[in-house]
Chains A and B, each alone.
Chain A
Amino acid sequence: MASTETQYLDAFRECRARGNASPAWLNELREAGIASFTSLGFPTPKIEEWKYTNLGPIAAFDFSRRSGTRKKISQADLLSEAFADASATRLVFLNGVYAPELSSRDRLPEGVRLQSLAESIKGDDEFLSTQLGRYARYRQQSLVALNTAFIGDGAVLVVPPGRRLAEPVQLIYVSGADGEQLVTHPRTLIFLGAGSEAKIIESYIGMTRESYFCNAVTELIAERDSLAEHCRVQREGEAAFHTGTFEAKLGRGAHLTAHAVTLAGSLVRNDVHVALEGEGAECILNGLYLGAGRQHIDNSTVIEHVKPRARSFELYKGILNGAAHGVFNGKIVVHKDAQKSDARQVNKNLLLSDDAVVNTKPQLEIHADDVKCSHGSTIGQIDPDALFYFRSRGLGLAEARRLLSSAFAADVVARIKVASLRQRLDEYILEKFREI
């Protein structure tokens, strides 16, 4: 293990030495997490899946020092940053810790379980001990291992079979607000019972310009015939390091739409892993990443077709300006039994400057013989014909570029079914490209 990882090991030992009242199974899980992280270490570009992304700056950063600023944030600021409605059912976490005063569960229908993970751990039921860490691959993925070692708080949502949630549930993770914790490991567990339906918005926002590290893991289990929309919106601080892992398992006939919207952060890696484990399961993966300055944004997705007749549609789009660096790794694995699989993947990138860079790598790994699979990726600039068309109608060069850049993102945003989020994102994007 490199010396850079030792601060995490020290922190872990310190944490354990202080003692805690956690149930034994959780302590075992944490120990397994730190053991795995200790042996894996931070991923390096020598690993194929990390070829274009170097976590060196995260590994080297001394997060034990304390932040100099303390900032109180208002609920209004918080909701606006998180693109959330004031009336929305939500759990808010400040620097990794549940903040009941900013959360709202009044409108949550009865029978639906929405709790902070810390609350849930105290209640210690069999559900949590059997599901938490069941699918997140902490033995293979070092960032998941690190998160697992430090499981403390986060969110738990359980929708009973057949239950349909009319309104979205919002989970808001805030870093750099009114506190000093510079490293957080938010953990989210979402369980959708058979035939249930839910929309979940997970927002990661930063209220500081200082560096910090947010290493989030979400597990989503969608049982047979359930219907889920999961929106992950990342608006961390400009100097933030953000690594997020989303692990989903879909049962027979289950349907998941998962959006990954990356708007900020200095070094960002999103790992999405969806296992279509039931026959006829379907997932739509939808991604948007907007980079500027020296931002580095890596989206790595793996879709596994395990059973027959499952379908996956993936569209990731990136717009990169300045000297931003975008990475897309899209892997589709069709297992031997997954006949009649239908998998389509598209990655499109728009480069707004000469210094912006993107690496895109689609990968198909097919072990079945009767499948439909396609993938494609493009990298381009704003179409000069379109630009002239706009200018010939009287729109200035900057305005024309702004509209055309926003237009590039429009089809991804249009797929978000939560109307309030969709509208706010549209406005945000138009505003963001005002200065290009």
Chain B
Amino acid sequence: MLDIRSLRAKVADKEILRGIDLHVGTGEVHAIMGPNGSGKSTLAHVLAGRENFQVTGGEVIYQGKDLLAMNPETRAREGVFLAFQYPVEIPGVSTVYFLRAALNAARKYRGLEELDAMDFLALIKERMKLVEMDQALANRPLNEGFSGGEKKRNEILQMAVLDPTLALLDETDSGLDIDALRVVANGVNALRRPDRAMIVITHYQRLLNYIVPDFVHVLFDGRIIKSGTKELALELERRGYDWLKAEATAP
């Protein structure tokens, strides 16, 4: 489904990604771990099409298409979804309004009929159960004054409504207490499907107790320095990142 080959990217002349290779198959859940500043979030944003990162090399093939040639909205309509670490607060636009506009943009792109307000309301109501979200929240301005947990639930709700093929979860566990973490993880697990791949970016093993990945990769200094299965995450939890850093920087 997704092939990242020798991907390099920089921001303001600082090279952050220094040759990433990653293959994600249909239905797989990959975790990308790594210390702060290793390039995890940059990778997610580059895949979603954030323009302030400049791709300097490599390619990304998504479902046989050149992902990097698409603008952010086209990637989204093609089924790529990024759950933000810091969702933006937008006073003046309700979640319901925003999400219907987004879903209809994608449906139009795919040649499907747009959903009217009634049908959409039925859909969002059903998906809100997944993240145990109160309906009143969806009528409020998007993320405005939401708690950390509410914002993350709202991200997963958006994912549930937009129904992506490839979901990128950027530090979805940050800022969550244990109850919120469980709710968000349950939501994500309910959205695991054989035809959907996920890349879960996290600093801690904690989240991976709830969302169990098929593969774990360690990103350090803009490169993947180790890949393995879920046991690798447990080992990292026990031993930290330093032993890998030492391995990676050894001549």
Among A383, A406, A407, chain B packs the most CB atoms within 10 A around the CB of: A407
B8 CB–A CB distance under 8 Å: no
Interface residues of A, CB < 8 Å — how many? 24
**Which of B34-42, B83-91, B172-180 contacts the other chain?**
B83-91
Instruction: Flag A392-405 by CB within 8 Å of B: 1 or 0 each.
Output: 11111101100110
* Chain B residues near A354 (CB-CB < 8 A): none
Contacts of A373-394 to chain B: CB distance below 8 A: 383-386, 388-394
**Whole-angstrom distance between the alpha carbons of A393 and B162 in the complex?**
8
Instruction: Identify which of B50, B52, B158 contacts A393 (C-beta below 8 A).
Output: B158
Q: Within 8 Å of chain A (Cβ to Cβ): is B102? A: yes
Interface flags, A195-231, vs B, CB<8A=1, else 0: 0000000000000000000000000000000000000
| Cα distance A394–B50 in the bound complex, in angstroms | 13
Across the interface, do A386 and B105 meet the contact criterion of CB distance under 8 Å? no
Known interface pairs A399-B105, A403-B101. Does A391 touch B93 (Cβ–Cβ under 8 Å)?
A: no
Cβ-based interface call for A50 (8 A): no
Q: Is B184 an interface residue (CB 8 A)?
A: no
Contact A406 B109 (CB under 8 A): no
User: Which residues of A lie under 8 Å from residue B51 when comparing CB positions?
Assistant: 388
- Residue A410 is within 8 A (CB to CB) of chain B in the complex: yes
A410 adjacent to B93 (CB under 8 Å)? yes
CB distance from B199 to the nearest CB of A (A): 15
Chain A residues whose CB sits within 8 angstroms of the CB of B98 once the complex forms: 390, 393, 403
Contact B73 A411 (CB under 8 A): no
A394 touches B105 (CB 8 A): yes
A399 with B101, Cβ < 8 A, contacts A391-B72, A393-B76 known: yes
- Is A408 at the interface (CB under 8 A from chain B)? yes
Partner of B102, one of A384, A386, A395: A395
Interface residues on B, range: 20 to 34
Asked whether, in the complex, the Cβ of B91 is within 8 Å of the Cβ of A392, the reply is no
How many inter-chain residue pairs (CB < 8 Å) link A and B? 75
Is the CB–CB distance between B82 and A392 below 8 Å?
A: yes
| Interchain nearest-CB distance for A396 vs B (Å) | 5
Question: In the complex, how many angstroms separate the beta carbon of B90 from the nearest chain A beta carbon?
Answer: 6
Residue of A nearest to B105 (CB): A394
- Chain B residues with Cβ under 8 A from A394's Cβ? 73, 76-77, 102-103, 105-106, 109, 162
Please name all residues of chain A whose beta carbon is closer than 8 Å to the beta carbon of B84 when the two chains form the complex: 389, 392
B48 contacts chain A at the CB level, 8 A cutoff: yes
Question: In residues 146-172 of chain B, which contact A (Cβ within 8 Å)?
Answer: 158, 162
A383-B88 in contact (CB<8A)? yes
Which residue on chain A has the smallest CB distance to residue B50?
Answer: A388
Interface string of B45-85 (1 = CB under 8 A from A): 00011111000000000000000000111011100011010
User: In the complex, A399→B104 CA distance in Å?
Assistant: 12
Assess whether A258 is interfacial by the CB under 8 Å rule: no
- CB B59 to nearest CB in A, in angstroms, measures 21
| Shortest Cβ distance from residue B185 to the other chain A in the assembled complex, whole angstroms | 22
Q: Cβ of A388: which chain B residues have Cβ within 8 Å of it?
A: 50-51, 72
**Could you say which of A392, A407, A409 has the most chain B C-beta atoms within 10 Å of its C-beta?**
A392
B44 to chain A, nearest CB (A): 10
Contacting residues of chain A (405-434) with chain B, CB-CB under 8 angstroms:
406-411
Instruction: For the complex formed, measure the closest distance between the CB of B31 and the CB atoms of chain A, giving whole angstroms.
Output: 21
Q: How long is the Cα–Cα vector from A393 to B106 in the complex, in angstroms?
A: 9
Add 8 more A-B contacts to A391-B71, A397-B73 (CB < 8 A). Answer: A388-B72, A392-B73, A393-B99, A394-B106, A396-B73, A403-B93, A404-B93, A410-B91
List B residues at the A interface (Cβ < 8 Å): 48-52, 71-73, 75-77, 81-82, 84, 87-88, 90-93, 98-99, 101-103, 105-106, 109, 141, 158, 162
Which residues of A are in contact with B by a Cβ distance under 8 Å?
383-386, 388-397, 399-400, 403-404, 406-411
Q: Give 17 A-B contacts (CB < 8 Å), ordered by A residue.
A: A384-B52, A388-B50, A388-B51, A390-B102, A392-B82, A392-B84, A393-B158, A393-B162, A394-B103, A394-B106, A394-B109, A396-B105, A399-B105, A400-B73, A403-B101, A407-B91, A410-B141
